Amino acid sequence: MTEVRRLVISGIVQGVGFRYAMTAQARLLGITGWVRNRRDGRVEAMIAGDAAQVEAMLAWTCIGPAGSSVDELIVEPAVGDFRDFELRPTA
């Protein structure tokens, strides 16, 4: 069964390649959805996959790529149907 989560990530997450690294990790794990910067300095993402895939993506998101520092990760249940994982424009 597919699980869908909306993520809002706070900390040093813009200007450090977070979105690009998250895209690569999501594709590696077989996660679908999207990621984008927000004007308030946070990163927002929608992720979808089976329970193990989503759990692995959440674990990665808490750490992020080198140079980033995640202070807070908000995870909410969500609804969505995605074909792949994509970078979206800033919102």
Judge whether 6 counts as a catalytic residue: no
* Torsion sign over Cα 70, 75, 79, 83: positive
Catalytic residue among 19, 27, 38, 83: 19
For residue 1 the two structure tokens come to 């069964």
Candidate list 5, 27, 36, 37, residue with the active-site label: 37
The CA-based angle 2-42-18, given to 5 degrees, is 70
Tell me whether residue 42 is one of the annotated catalytic residues.
Answer: no
Residues taking part in catalysis: 19, 37
